[in-house]
Structure 1
Amino acid sequence: MATIQRFLALLMPGCLLGGAVGDALGAPIEFMSRSDILHQLGSDGITQYAPAYGGLGTITDDTQMTLFTAEGLMRGWIQEYMKGHGEYSKNTALAYLRWLVTQGIRPECIMETPDTGGLIQCIALHHRRAPGNTCLSALQTMSFPGEYAIDNSKGCGGVMRFAPVGLFTWGRRQHMSLQSAFQLGADLAALTHGYPTGFLTEGVLAVMIHQLVEGTTMVNAVNAEETLAISVYCALVARDFRESVILAVNHDGDSDSTGAIAGNLLGTLHGVASIPNAWLEPLELRDVITAMADDLHSSPNWHVSDG
């Protein structure tokens, strides 16, 4: 049992750190075409961190929202532990509204204690890193925390932030099935993305991460479209973590998001040891990401008091 716990303690940081590394690798070329990437960086494209947002290894909104997703889930679980019901959609929506505040926007709905505790206190998160317009507008106009978005968006602004759902539901697998993982992922994505493929793929990613932690092979865990499909392809065909995320970011699409998801998948499959140290060491918010992964891993054994 102790060996299994040590193994899992590497997989969960591997998932979140892997996603952040892929995000940071893709950040400098997020808005470039493949032809421009190859013209500026050579025939291999981007293969190491390049300057973005004033630094190397800097994350984007993808990793920011991933962290706030995890925080919302954790607060929902604490509520469930103490009161018997978790209200995960509401708690995650409140987490996203706190993220919105870090982007310099006050939401229209009344927030519950928006400026106290948790990630919102991390000054390094109070930076705009090309946040998606769909997420910004859906959250800014949300009538109440937990309201589903009224839009037709099917962009990748949902799927890029949902690896924590798979980790979270696996940690509570005695009470949360694969169906629960899918439903929770889809429900939380619907907070910002209203088109079916805009929220169903998030459920798929949650199930995939859940299954990979369980020990399922990558081949048996896959099924999705668009951004998720690109990331899955790269995770399937590449020989290792480095090759996978390099392949995932060097294309015309949303490079940071596909890099993040490929990193989530390979990091979950092979653990944090598979991520090159040259990418881990300069990674922005590495300690915050690691702490959140550790919380996701240990929280099922927490004893929460109301004191």
Structure 2
Amino acid sequence: MEKFKAGMVLGAAGDALGYRKGRWESCTSGKKIQEELASLGGLGTLKLDPDNWPLSDATLLHMTTAEALITDYWCLEDLYRELVRLYVEAMVSLQGRTPDPATMEGCVHLKPHNYLLAWHTPFNEKGSGFGAAAKAMCVGMRYWQSERLENLVEVSVEIGRMTHNHPTGFLGSLTTALFASYAIQGKPLVSWGRELLKVIPLAEEYCKKTIRHMAEYQENWFYFEAKWQFYVEEREIEKEEQNKPLFPDHYDADETDKTYKRWSSEGCPGRRGHDAPMIAYDALLAAGNDWTELCKRAMFHGGESEATGLIAGCLYGLMHGMSKVPSGLYQDLDKRERLEELGEALYKAASADKCLDNHLN
């Protein structure tokens, strides 16, 4: 349970650090951010509080998703209806926090009063952003057991396409949910990328079953898969026997920025559903259990650092807990109490599923 709480809290801390009230989120140079951080006294001296280090809209939507996942739904359609209701409400409360435009556009098409089609949104050519990926780790926490993979695939795809109805967007939510489940299962980190490539076809099968937008999906599906295939090959971890990722000898802030830019689709690292989880994953591979190193690579780079910080922080918490993280980064963190409650409730909901399965068997 402690690691579930750590996942929710450290995800939010990673977001607050990468966001820095919008200042670092919009900065294009990791080196500049790291120099500014040093002038503030370094990571260990920071005290994150709601006024100076607020959470961005990305964490608030992750929390909103978690709120729905801990309700007592009878079937997944009920869960989706609850999510639609909460997302529409959240759009009102996010005023002033500059929510991701694709999320806002997606939410406009949600229909809380339409019982059958509440969560069916049109295909969105611009729905390839990071927003779906950044709100889905809690799906992996709710359905973390390997025998729940089918639920995880379905729910992560559906919550993704409610707001980001484009394969690059909703395959991002599949990725972060899957990685969260792997973190809890204790799967070797180095295997996550290649395992993802085996699960993507299950998402395609699910989408075919729902017969929505398949022509548009097929046109855009290949990009996400190709980018991840390229990534695991670049790090030399695409085969089962490859257990040591290959990193450049000098992988400093400038080098990291260059690499991340190469993975991105329009020169802004972390802006899309494929590269936000990729940067977070790469940072985890490079950092091991070193929180400071993780922050350097996932929270303090040029690009959408609040999204990559949120994903990386959450996955780190699920794997390593909070013992190596300076307490100033979470003690007075915005919404800390609710984040811990959500972590605990997700743990209990996932455990109750397990008990129910045992009972039914």
Whole-Å Cα distance in 2 between the matches of residues 45 and 184 of structure 1?
A: 42
Given candidates 9, 18, 30, the residue that maps to 1:26 is 18
**1:286 Cα deviation (Å)?**
0.4
Check 1:38–1:269 CA distance in 2 against 1; reply closer, same or farther (3 A cut): closer
1:146 aligns with 2:119: yes
Aligned length: 264
- Partners of 1:276 and 1:44 in 2: CA distance: 15
Where structure 2 has 5 or more consecutive residues not aligned to the other structure, the ranges are 113-117, 197-227, 229-273, 356-361
Give 1:112-261 correspondences, 5 Å limit. 128-144=96-112, 145-152=118-125, 153-170=127-144, 173=145, 177-222=148-193, 223=196, 224=228, 225-239=274-288, 240-261=290-311
Taking the aligned partners of 1:33 and 1:49, their CA distance within structure 2 comes to 24
Q: Secondary structure at the match of 2:130?
A: coil
Residue deviations 1:71-122 (CA, integer Å, cap 9, x gap): 11222xx121xxx565322221222112112135xxxxxxxxxxxxxxxxxx
**Using a 3 Å threshold, how does the CA distance of structure 1 residues 212 and 52 change in structure 2: closer, same or farther?**
closer
Q: Quick one: distance in 2 between partners of 1:149 and 1:292?
A: 31
Q: 2:61 aligns with which of 65, 72, 94?
A: 65
Q: Cα–Cα, structure 1 residues 45 and 69, in superposed 2: closer, same or farther, change >3 Å?
A: farther
User: 1:235/1:23 Cα in 2 relative to 1: closer, same or farther (>3 Å)?
Assistant: same
The CA deviation at 1:212 is 1.3
Counterparts of 1:199 and 1:66, CA distance in 2 = 14
Greater Rg by CA? 2
Provide the residue aligned with 1:6 in structure 2.
none
Q: 1:288 aligns with which of 322, 338, 344?
A: 338
Q: 1:11 & 1:257 partners in 2: Cα distance?
A: 20
TM-score by length of 1: 0.77
Query: Distance in 2 between the 1:248 and 1:45 partners?
Result: 19
Q: Give the aligned residue type for 2:3.
A: L
**1:79 correspondence with 2:129:** no
What runs of 5+ residues in structure 1 fail to find an aligned partner?
1-8, 105-127
Q: Deviations over 1:195-217 (max 9, x none)?
A: 21111121121111112111112
Structure 1 vs Structure 2 CA RMSD:
2.8
Render the CA deviation track for 1:153-195: whole Å, top value 9, x for unaligned: 211111111110000012xx48x52232122111110001122
Output the CA distance in 1 between the equivalents of 2:82 and 2:330. Answer: 30
User: What percentage of aligned pairs have identical amino acids?
Assistant: 23
- Mapped contact 1:50–1:56 kept (Cα < 8 A): no
What is the TM-score of this pair, normalised by structure 2? 0.66
After TM superposition, give the deviation of residue 39 of structure 1 in Å: 6.3
TM-fit CA distance, 1:40: 4.6
